[in-house]
Structure 1
Amino acid sequence: MNGNDTKRLSRLTAILTQLQTKRLLTASELANKFSVSIRTIYRDIRALEQAGVPILTEDGKGYKLMEGYKIPPVMFTESQANALILAEQLVLKNKDTSFIKDYIEAIDKIKAVLGHTIKDKANLLAERTRFSQNMNSERNSNNLSDLQFALTNFCLTRIEYTNEANSATDRLIEPFALISTQENWLLVAWCRLRNEFRFFRLDRIKKLEILEEKFNPHQMTLQEYFDRYH
């Protein structure tokens, strides 16, 4: 898909959203809004009709959706929602303010169709994820998605962890936050072996098992954690 295809797909989606939120729209209104010609809008409307969208044309007035037609809500799994939230945190590090604004508006629309439970978990994950400014280095981990799930569902987790001396220990941990540094992904978790909060490098977690047992949520924000423990 080239840049023009991407722009057109984005415009078609936006036109459909506009038709859902307004009772009647003229071709000239749509052309002005998206900075394209009226002929382009005609082609876009025809493409939507060919895709099965029931658009009605009122002569001399404009376009509207057939009464009662609704776009089916987009369904995301919990891990897909978590991936979107992680992407949102990355975008917030971008220096282009217009890009950030557009992406946040898009994410807000996505959040609007998430179920309440998944939305709450996604918001918790956003609050418990932090990135460094430098996002250029490569980080490898097979456990990020599983740890996101354990964090947002308060699942006790068993890991086999290898330290700098290559010595392995089994730990029971309560995942609290995920932090991206310039070198690695770090997990902040309450370690039941050491009876304190510890940092764990994700690339040193050799085995991971999410247990059915739940832990009591730690009632503090990530910033409060830093203020209290660092």
Structure 2
Amino acid sequence: MNGNDTKRLSRLTAILTQLQTKRILTATELAQKFSVSIRTIYRDIRALEQAGVPVVTEEGKGYSLMEDYRIPPVMFTESQANALILAEQLVLKNKDASFISDYLEAIDKIKAVLKQSVRHKANLLTDRTRFDQNIHRERTSNNVSALQFALTNFRLTKIEYVNEAQQSSVRLIEPFALLSTDNWLLVAWCRSRNQFRYFRLDRIKHLDVLNQSFTPHNMTLQDFFDKYH
């Protein structure tokens, strides 16, 4: 096997990993990622198909893998996958570029073996989480996992909340994003106030994730910042 063959095999493996990680990828995205022509990506996709990989071509959209196709057969629960997303955000604050690169490649491989439904939720949580490193304060919260679940499954949540003036109230909220600054903050649509509000997790005294779903807010976290800040 010559150098070009080795490089192509490595790229085919990487493309397979990418396809397992995300719902749909375009030929343009893959060509840019691997610094090759779109025509080369077309040939690579055909090679994967000939090797028996069930690549689904969606006209005008891109490529995906048939549902339930994943290698190797490793299973993660939804809460375990969510915990990995928080770890990913923390690693991104590391100063060592090579360490970040290696970790992100590992996370891609982990995401690749998740069921499609869990993988979609993991990608959503990645988009809705911000983590700023702060080593001087202790974060105290027992609600992160429950709120991750509520956020990615679009479940209404009832909280007992104590504000800065030590006034307690019960709120019905639609969790939208998690931010970690000096404290854990939840961005959520508050049905009591009929607007987006920030809630400090250490001030949530009781939390119930309800069976009732809410309609997802059709915007990214960056869209939220652009609109409300």
State the distance in 1 between where 2:177 and 2:135 align: 18
Partner of 2:150: 150
Which aligned runs of 4 or more in structure 1 are off by greater than 3 angstroms?
A: 133-136
Give the counterpart letter for 2:84 in structure 1: L
Give the counterpart letter for 2:114 in structure 1: L
Identity, in percent, stands at: 73
Please show how residues 58-207 of structure 1 align to structure 2 within 5 Å: 73-181=73-181, 183-207=182-206
Please show how residues 9-88 of structure 1 align to structure 2 within 5 Å: 73-88=73-88
Give how far 1:143 is off.
Answer: 0.2
State the distance in 1 between where 2:136 and 2:88 align: 17
Give how far 1:134 is off.
Answer: 3.2
State the distance in 2 between where 1:226 and 1:98 align: 30
Gaps of 5+ in 1: 1-17, 22-70
Q: Are 2:228 and 1:221 aligned?
A: no
Partner of 1:210: 209
Of structures 1 and 2, the one scoring higher in RCO (CA 8 A, sep 6+) is: 2
Give secondary structure in 2 for the equivalent of 1:107.
helix
Give secondary structure in 2 for the equivalent of 1:157.
strand
Structure whose alpha-carbon radius of gyration is higher? 1
Q: How many residues matched?
A: 162
Give how far 1:136 is off.
Answer: 4.7
The 8 Å contact of residues 90 and 133 in structure 2, kept in 1 or not, is answered as no
Cα RMSD, aligned residues only: 1.7
Give the counterpart letter for 1:187 in structure 2: L
Deviation track 1:164-194 (CA, whole Å, cap 9, x = no partner) reads 111100000000000001x200000000000
State the distance in 1 between where 2:108 and 2:135 align: 24
**TM-score between the two structures when normalised by the length of structure 1:** 0.68
